[in-house]
Amino acid sequence: MPSSRVLAIVLALVLGLAEPAFANGNAERGRDLYESRCIGCHSLDANRIGPRHRGVHGRKAGSVPGFTYSPALQNSPVVWNDETLMRWLTNPQEIIPGQRMNFRVSQPQDRADIIAYLKKESGR
């Protein structure tokens, strides 16, 4: 077997172990997780410490009217979808350096469930 192919397989295995494939999110569990993890700073329909979340899935980053964002977030071209939200909840600073949230959700399934809930509440 060519060494490059072996390397590709090893990399795939390592990456697979480090970050499981995007799991199907459970919106019902995501609602409970949102209530416990996110409610300290966010609400679905009100800007608080963080911006309101209803409609976040499919929305451009830094675009909620009436909320004062960091320059990094306001100027970011990121649009929130399954992939970008997964990266954001994994490590916000990695996807948008200079942002202010810095809250991390450590478990991939928890992230997927929260995203499923936000997607549902965004009508998508």
Partner 1 sequence: MTLSSSAKPAGLVTERRAFFRSAGAAALSATAVALISGCESMAQGSMNSSSMTMADVNILNVALGLEHEAINAYQLGAESGLLQPPVLNVAVGFQSHHKEHRDALIATIRKLGGMPVAEKPKAEYAQALNAGSLRSQADVLKLAQRLERGAANAYLGVIPSFGDKGLAQVAARLAADETMHWTALTGAMAEMLPQKALTFGA
Q: Cα–Cα distance between 122 and 2 in angstroms, integer?
A: 47
Q: Count of CB atoms within 10 A of residue 57's CB?
A: 22
Q: How far is the CB of 40 from partner 1 (least distance, A)?
A: 3
CB 79 within 8 A of CB 61: yes
Task: Out of 20, 28, 107, 124, name the contact with partner 1 by CB under 8 A.
Answer: 107
Q: Cα–Cα distance between 52 and 41 in angstroms, integer?
A: 9
Bridge partners of residue 59, in order along the sequence: none
**110 contributes a contact to partner 1 by CB under 8 A:** yes
Q: How far is the CB of 27 from partner 1 (least distance, A)?
A: 19
| Residues 9 to 68 in contact with partner 1, rule: CB under 8 A | 35-41, 43, 46-49
Q: Cα–Cα distance between 106 and 84 in angstroms, integer?
A: 15
Q: How far is the CB of 39 from partner 1 (least distance, A)?
A: 4
Per CB under 8 A, residues contacting partner 1 are 35-41, 43, 46-49, 70, 91-93, 98-107, 110
